[in-house]
């Protein structure tokens, strides 16, 4: 049986993981490659590296980093953050990343999904959607949740699928950082209306939240950052718990 995936997300700035991570058992907590390798060794099924650098040198730094990650880490990884044109995608894929997660650029230019899927295959294209539930409607936001758009979550996700997206990474802004569980209702609706995998993001605070997101939320993968970085939950504990609860998981 295909296993549900646990995906730690690492924020990267200028080639380093953003401070605040609380790891004592690796030499350089700032090195995304060391932290990623540790997660891989602990049983992470994939990794997401989200680049939040905002400089001219961004692409060069990111390409170098991706190559280092690909050399040292033997599980699939996604890179996101600031990919806005085919040339960026090409450079990152040639450097060895498995998938690209794109958000704002696709809202501005949905055709980029078609172009990326045709150029590199759907499996490379992870469409990231940040959305917020307000007055009963899920509004899609861009620029890291700062700018509301005229798009609605379910119609935008469906459009992304029909344009060739390989996966949807949905972050509920209502749940992100609150640690009271994932947006299971919206996730289940997404999962049922699309035939591509759904990665759930935003809201993980306890192990049972992952059980809920895989059962009630029908998600294919669960993504989290801080609970893993601050060791509130370790990946081996989480995976053992999920297996005991009857969730299909890779141990």
Partner 1 sequence: MNVVIIKYNAGNIRSVEFALQRLGIQPEITANPDIISSADKVIFPGVGEAFNTMKYLREQKLDQVIVSLKQPVLGICLGLQLMCKHSEEGNTLCLGIFDEVVKRFVPKPGEENISKVPQMGWNTINSLKTNLFNNSLENQYVYFVHSYYATVGNDTIATTKYTQAFSAALNRNNFYATQFHPEKSGSIGAQILNNFIEL
What residues make contact with partner 1 under the rule CB under 8 A?
Answer: 1-5, 40, 45, 70-71, 74-76, 93-96, 98, 120-124, 166-167, 191-192, 195-197, 218, 220-221, 248, 250
Annotated active-site residue 11? The verdict is yes
Annotated active-site residue 185? The verdict is no
Query: Of 127, 128, 159, 155, nearest to 139 (Cα)?
Result: 155
Name the minimum Å distance from CB 7 to partner 1.
10
Assess contact for 213 and 182: CB atoms under 8 A.
yes
Query: Of 149, 153, 139, nearest to 105 (Cα)?
Result: 149
* Long-range contact set of residues 14-20: C-beta below 8 Å, sequence gap at least 24: 14/53, 14/55, 14/61, 15/53, 15/61, 15/62, 15/64, 15/65, 18/52, 20/229
Among residues 11, 45, 51, 212, the one annotated as catalytic is 11
Of the pair 107, 187, the CB lying nearest partner 1 is at 187
Of the pair 14, 114, the CB lying nearest partner 1 is at 114
Gyration radius from the chain CA atoms = 17
Name the minimum Å distance from CB 100 to partner 1.
12
Name the minimum Å distance from CB 150 to partner 1.
29
Q: How far apart are CA 171 and CA 173, in angstroms?
A: 6
Name the minimum Å distance from CB 3 to partner 1.
5
Of the pair 134, 244, the CB lying nearest partner 1 is at 244
* Distances, alpha carbon 101 to alpha carbons 34, 56, 167, 206, 233, in Å: 22, 20, 9, 25, 25
Among residues 45, 51, 88, 130, the one annotated as catalytic is 130
**Is 217 buried (19+), middle (13-18) or exposed (0-12) by CB count in 10 A?**
buried
Query: Of 127, 151, 116, nearest to 137 (Cα)?
Result: 151
Of the pair 5, 175, the CB lying nearest partner 1 is at 5
Name the minimum Å distance from CB 17 to partner 1.
21
Of the pair 62, 173, the CB lying nearest partner 1 is at 62
Residues carrying an active site annotation: 11, 130
């Amino acid at each position: 049986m295909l296993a549900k995936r646990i995906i730690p997300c690492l924020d990267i700035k200028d080639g380093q993981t953003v401070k605040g991570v609380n790891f004592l058992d690796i030499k350089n907590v700032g090195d995304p490659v060391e932290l990623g390798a540790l997660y891989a060794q602990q049983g992470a099924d994939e990794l997401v590296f989200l680049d939040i650098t905002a400089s001219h040198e961004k692409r060069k730094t990111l390409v170098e980093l991706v190559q280092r990650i690909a050399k040292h880490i033997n599980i699939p990884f996604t890179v996101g953050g600031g990919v806005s044109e085919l040339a960026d995608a090409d450079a990152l894929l040639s450097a060895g990343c498995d998938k690209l997660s794109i958000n704002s650029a696709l809202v501005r230019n949905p055709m980029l999904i078609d172009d990326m899927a045709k150029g590199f295959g759907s499996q490379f294209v992870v469409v990231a959607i940040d959305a917020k539930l307000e007055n009963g409607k899920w509004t899609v936001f861009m620029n890291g949740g700062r700018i509301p758009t005229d798009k609605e979550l379910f119609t935008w996700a469906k459009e992304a699928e029909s344009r060739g997206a390989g996966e949807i990474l949905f972050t509920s802004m209502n749940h992100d950082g609150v640690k009271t569980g994932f947006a299971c209702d919206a996730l289940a609706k997404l999962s049922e209306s699309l035939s591509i995998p759904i990665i759930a993001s935003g809201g993980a605070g306890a192990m049972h939240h992952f059980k809920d997101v895989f059962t009630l939320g029908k998600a294919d993968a669960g993504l989290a950052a801080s609970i893993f970085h601050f060791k509130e939950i370790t990946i081996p504990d989480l995976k053992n718990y999920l297996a005991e609860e009857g969730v299909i998981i890779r141990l």
